[in-house]
């Protein structure tokens, strides 16, 4: 009999061994220990306590999603809806009425306050780790990227208001702020602290989204052999590297507005042995640096919701112009608000728009993306619709496909909208 108490003398079960009934680890569901996360040369060093801060915050997010949100749902059904109907003499009309009514309820107030605090604590924890070693990180990134033609920065690039007005995800300085020349701090913070939000659902290198897209393309477009791939808004390359790795003969380009994430991204890619990617500072709204029909595949991953309506339209038009005949564009996003989506779910999904500094989230998710694609010049009968879930190493990480925790916006399960040019 194995002891029920975990101790250092318990060795991990060899692969394939049936778990012992009273082994507490057999019943564990939740984020893996942060120590299993993949590390590369420009990844910040993390002390014991910094790791445990991240573990705690990942568990907080899981607790809020798994254990607190059901109470908010119950409060909505039993208190918020009846109170609204009694007061107004009618049912709630839309998600905005649902959200405003929820704001009056203590269950939603407490959940919201805790969720906001967890995000603020995550930013402080990640930024502390990145800032305290910023000179070392800068030196590593500099050594890996200096003189490399695959990094192309444009300090004169204007930062549009949809990025500068509020810092997305309460991330001070967002993707673009530089604290000194050559700075990579905001890339390092974004990269290593993302685990708090995803709880490991994106895998060892936070790249489960990219692997999912590759899997989708291989399954649905088996003959597709791209030579030129573009990712718009690719930040540090989390989701893009799997594409470059899956098609090693292709040349990949990542464009983003933020110099710190691009610098960090090239250093990260090189240290992970991925050499067919260039990182270019440019706006997806104006990619006139590339001639018409330059790319076989244009990708965006969890990016559209950080734009504005005008920017989304400009980017769609650029993707149409830049695609070669027969090329594909794929946008991976959370699902749109459909008429049959319950108002509670819509209001909960809207949380990030109002309280986590993602102002376009709400409007983007009510747009008719099919119509926008057609308006950008794509054929209505060549539109692509699909769904993907994060693909991860199942020995170490929870599988998004099997995870039934609903976090309304953060689960690693997405919709794909795209088109063949």
Partner 1 sequence: MSFSDALAGAGAKPAGKRPYFLEPQVERVLAITMSIAQELAVVRQRNDTLERLLLSKGVLTQGEIDAYVPDRGASAERQMWNQEFIARILRIVQQENEAVTTSHDVASGDVGEELARDG
Enumerate binding residues for partner 1 (CB under 8 A). 5, 7-9, 48-49, 52-53, 55-57, 60, 103, 108-110, 112-114, 116-118, 120-121, 123-125, 127-128, 131-132, 134-135, 164-167, 170-174, 179, 354-355, 357
Whole-number minimum distance, CB 313 to partner 1, in Å? 24
Q: How far apart are CA 297 and CA 319, in angstroms?
A: 9
Whole-number minimum distance, CB 37 to partner 1, in Å? 16
Query: Which DSSP state fits 217?
Result: H
Whole-number minimum distance, CB 167 to partner 1, in Å? 4
Cα-flanking dihedrals φ and ψ of residue 177, to 5°? Answer: -70, 135
Q: Toward partner 1, which CB reaches closer, 198 or 356?
A: 356
Whole-number minimum distance, CB 292 to partner 1, in Å? 36
Q: Do 173 and 167 touch, CB atoms closer than 8 A?
A: yes
Q: Do 239 and 231 touch, CB atoms closer than 8 A?
A: yes
Q: Toward partner 1, which CB reaches closer, 117 or 143?
A: 117
Q: Which of 385, 351, 387 is nearest to 368 (CA)?
A: 385
Q: Do 337 and 99 touch, CB atoms closer than 8 A?
A: no
Q: Toward partner 1, which CB reaches closer, 33 or 286?
A: 33
Q: Do 179 and 134 touch, CB atoms closer than 8 A?
A: yes
Q: How far apart are CA 139 and CA 244, in angstroms?
A: 26
- Residue 417: which H helix or E strand, with range? strand 413-420
Q: Which of 129, 150, 127 is nearest to 48 (CA)?
A: 129
Q: How far apart are CA 34 and CA 51, in angstroms?
A: 6
Q: Toward partner 1, which CB reaches closer, 176 or 211?
A: 176
Q: Toward partner 1, which CB reaches closer, 78 or 164?
A: 164
Q: How far apart are CA 61 and CA 68, in angstroms?
A: 10
Q: Toward partner 1, which CB reaches closer, 131 or 413?
A: 131
Q: Toward partner 1, which CB reaches closer, 49 or 381?
A: 49
| CA-atom Rg of the chain in angstroms | 22
Whole-number minimum distance, CB 406 to partner 1, in Å? 20
Q: Toward partner 1, which CB reaches closer, 111 or 378?
A: 111
- Residue 163: which H helix or E strand, with range? helix 161-164
Whole-number minimum distance, CB 179 to partner 1, in Å? 7
Q: Do 56 and 124 touch, CB atoms closer than 8 A?
A: no
Q: Which of 80, 196, 39 is nearest to 127 (CA)?
A: 196
Whole-number minimum distance, CB 112 to partner 1, in Å? 4
Whole-number minimum distance, CB 294 to partner 1, in Å? 34
């Amino acid at each position: 009999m194995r002891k029920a108490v975990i101790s250092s003398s318990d060795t991990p079960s060899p692969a394939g061994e049936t778990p012992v009934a009273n082994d507490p680890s057999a019943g564990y569901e939740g984020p893996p220990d942060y120590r299993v996360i993949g590390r590369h040369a420009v990844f910040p060093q993390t002390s014991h306590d910094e790791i445990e801060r991240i573990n705690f915050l990942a568990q907080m997010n899981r607790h809020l999603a798994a254990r607190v949100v059901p109470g908010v749902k119950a409060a909505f059904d039993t208190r918020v809806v009846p109170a609204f109907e009694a007061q107004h003499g009618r049912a709630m009309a839309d998600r905005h009425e649902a959200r405003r009514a929820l704001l009056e309820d203590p269950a939603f107030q407490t959940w919201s306050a805790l969720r906001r605090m967890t995000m603020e604590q995550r930013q402080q924890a990640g930024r502390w780790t990145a800032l305290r070693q910023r000179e070392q990180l800068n030196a590593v990134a500099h050594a890996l990227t200096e003189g490399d033609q695959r990094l192309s920065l444009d300090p004169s690039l204007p930062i549009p208001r949809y990025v500068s007005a509020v810092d997305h995800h309460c991330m001070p300085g967002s993707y673009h702020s530089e604290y000194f020349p050559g700075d990579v701090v905001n890339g390092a913070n974004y990269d290593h602290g993302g685990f708090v939000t995803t709880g490991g659902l994106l895998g060892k290198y936070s790249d489960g989204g990219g692997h999912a897209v590759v899997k989708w393309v291989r399954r649905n477009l088996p003959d597709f052999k791209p030579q030129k791939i573009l990712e718009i808004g690719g930040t540090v390359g989390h989701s893009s590297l799997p594409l470059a790795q899956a098609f090693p003969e292709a040349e990949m380009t990542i464009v983003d507005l933020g110099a710190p994430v691009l610098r960090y991204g090239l250093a990260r890619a090189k240290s992970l042995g991925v050499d067919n990617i260039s990182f270019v500072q440019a706006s997806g709204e104006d990619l006139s640096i590339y001639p018409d029909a330059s790319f076989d595949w244009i990708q965006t991953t969890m990016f559209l919701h950080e734009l504005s309506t005008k920017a989304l339209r400009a980017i769609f038009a650029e993707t149409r112009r830049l695609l070669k005949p027969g090329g594909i564009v794929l946008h991976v996003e959370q699902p749109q608000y459909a008429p049959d989506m319950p108002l509670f779910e819509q209001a909960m999904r809207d949380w990030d728009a109002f309280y986590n500094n993602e102002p376009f989230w709400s409007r983007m998710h009510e747009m008719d993306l099919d119509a926008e694609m057609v308006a950008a010049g794509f054929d209505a009968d060549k539109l692509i619709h699909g769904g993907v879930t994060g693909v991860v190493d199942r020995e170490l990480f929870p599988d998004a496909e099997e995870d039934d925790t609903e976090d309304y916006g953060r689960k690693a399960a997405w919709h794909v909208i795209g088109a063949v040019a």
